[in-house]
C-alpha cells in the first residue's frame, strides 16, 4: 500500500469565506502570481527540486497594508501547493511612527505560524527632520527603508526582497515617470540591486488593486494605516491614481490595456537610439512593421 502524506493548509486559510466568489478570487490571484514568477524567472523550479541550485530564501516585506498581507497569503498558498519551493521569512520594518500599533503584526504572524523578523529603526524622525512640511516624504523614506531591507536580507542570507506592488502601482509609476520624469519606466517584476547581490521581486505585478482589496476584506487582515506619506494630500501618485480612475470610468478595462502595453514595447517605434539602431538601418534589411503609424 502506498502511503500519502497530506500537507496541512496554511493557518491563515483555515477560516476563510466559503463562497464561490472568494474561491475564484483566491484562485485568480494565485494564478496571476504564479504566471509572473514563471514569466520573469523569479525561480527555476526544476533546478531547485532536483537540488541543482540551493533552495532560495525570500524576505517578504510586510508593511501592515492590504497588498503586503495579500502577498504573503498568496506566496503561502503557492508554497502549500508545491509551486513555490522557497523558504519565506516575513519582515516588518517598524519606522518609529507615533502611535504605530507594535503588537498587531507580531500577534498576527504568531497566529499564522510564519517565521518573521521585526526590525525597529526610527526613520520617521529622520524624514520629519530632513523634509519640510509642504514636501512629500516618499523619496527619502523609501531610500532609508530600502537600505535597511537590503541589510536585513544579507543578515538573513536571503536571495531576494519580495514586495507587494501590484498592477496599479506599476501604472501609476509609469505615468509619473512619463509626465514628470521624462522617461518610459514602470516597476519591474524582477530587479537586481546595484550591488548585484540581492534580487527585488514583485510577484503581484499583474494583480489588480481592486482584487487585492476584495481579498484583504474577505481575509479580514488587521490593516495598519500609514500616517506618514499616506497622510499627505496632493501627492503625484494620488493624482495619477485619480486620473487612471477617471479613464477607467470613461472606458472600463483601460488599466488592463495599459498593463498589457507594458509587456508589448516596440523599440523601433520609440525614439531612444540606445534601444534601437536607427543609424544602422539600411535599404535591403528586414523592414519594420508600420501598422498603426499614421502617414
What is the reported pLDDT for 144?
80
What is the reported pLDDT for 210?
96
Instruction: Report yes or no on 12 lying in a domain.
Output: no
Its domain, for residue 172, covers 18-264
What is the reported pLDDT for 176?
92
Sheet containing 57-61: give its strands across: 116-120, 87-94, 57-61, 160-162, 199-201, 190-192
Instruction: Report yes or no on 93 lying in a domain.
Output: yes
Instruction: Report yes or no on 8 lying in a domain.
Output: no
Are residues 121 and 66 in contact, defined by beta-carbon separation less than 8 angstroms?
A: no
CATH number at residue 220: 3.40.50.620
Instruction: Report yes or no on 1 lying in a domain.
Output: no
Contacts of 246 (CB under 8 A, 6+ apart): none
Instruction: Report yes or no on 92 lying in a domain.
Output: yes
**Tens of each residue's pLDDT in the chain, 295 residues:** 433 434 567 888 888 899 999 999 999 999 999 999 999 999 988 888 888 888 999 999 999 999 999 999 999 999 999 999 999 999 998 877 777 888 999 999 999 999 999 998 876 777 666 566 666 656 666 778 888 999 999 999 999 999 999 999 999 999 999 998 999 999 999 999 999 999 999 999 999 999 999 999 999 999 988 655 544 444 788 899 999 999 999 999 999 999 999 999 999 999 999 999 999 999 988 877 777 666 6
Instruction: Report yes or no on 90 lying in a domain.
Output: yes
The CA distance from 223 to 63, in Å, is 9
Instruction: Report yes or no on 290 lying in a domain.
Output: no
Give the number of domains in the chain: 1
What is the reported pLDDT for 5?
39
CA dihedral 155, 156, 159, 164 (to 10 degrees): -110
Instruction: Report yes or no on 286 lying in a domain.
Output: no
What is the reported pLDDT for 133?
66
Q: From the centroid of its chain, how far is CA 46?
A: 24
What is the reported pLDDT for 232?
47
DSSP alpha helix (H) spans, the chain: 20-39, 45-49, 66-80, 104-112, 123-130, 138-155, 167-176, 209-219, 236-250, 254-261
Amino acid at each position: 500500500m502506498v502511503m500519502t502524506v497530506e500537507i496541512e493548509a496554511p493557518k491563515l486559510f483555515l477560516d476563510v469565506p466559503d463562497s464561490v466568489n472568494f474561491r475564484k478570487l483566491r484562485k485568480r490571484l494565485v494564478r496571476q502570481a504564479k504566471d509572473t514568477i514563471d514569466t520573469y524567472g523569479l525561480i527555476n523550479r526544476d533546478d531547485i527540486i532536483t537540488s541543482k541550485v540551493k533552495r532560495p530564501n525570500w524576505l517578504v516585506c510586510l508593511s501592515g497594508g492590504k497588498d503586503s498581507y495579500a502577498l504573503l497569503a498568496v506566496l503561502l498558498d503557492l508554497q502549500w501547493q508545491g509551486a513555490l519551493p522557497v523558504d519565506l521569512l516575513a519582515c516588518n520594518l517598524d519606522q518609529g511612527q507615533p502611535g504605530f500599533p507594535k503588537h498587531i503584526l507580531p500577534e498576527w504572524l504568531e497566529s499564522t505560524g510564519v517565521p518573521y523578523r521585526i526590525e525597529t529603526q526610527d526613520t520617521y524622525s529622520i524624514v520629519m527632520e530632513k523634509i519640510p512640511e509642504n514636501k512629500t516624504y516618499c523619496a527619502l523614506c523609501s531610500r532609508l527603508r530600502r537600505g535597511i531591507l537590503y541589510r536585513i536580507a544579507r543578515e538573513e542570507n536571503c536571495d531576494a526582497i519580495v514586495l507587494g506592488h501590484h498592477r496599479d502601482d506599476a501604472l501609476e509609476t509609469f505615468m509619473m515617470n512619463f509626465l514628470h520624469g521624462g522617461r518610459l519606466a514602470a516597476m519591474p517584476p524582477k530587479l537586481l540591486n546595484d550591488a548585484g547581490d540581492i534580487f527585488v521581486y514583485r510577484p503581484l505585478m499583474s494583480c489588480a488593486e481592486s482584487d487585492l482589496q476584495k481579498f484583504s476584506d474577505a481575509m479580514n487582515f488587521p490593516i495598519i494605516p500609514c500616517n506618514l506619506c499616506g497622510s499627505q494630500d496632493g501627492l503625484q501618485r494620488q493624482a495619477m491614481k485619480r486620473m487612471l480612475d477617471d479613464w477607467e470610468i470613461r472606458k472600463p478595462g483601460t488599466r488592463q490595456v495599459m498593463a498589457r502595453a507594458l509587456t508589448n514595447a516596440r523599440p523601433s517605434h520609440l525614439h531612444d537610439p540606445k534601444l534601437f539602431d536607427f543609424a544602422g538601418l539600411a535599404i535591403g534589411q528586414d523592414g519594420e512593421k508600420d501598422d498603426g503609424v499614421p502617414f
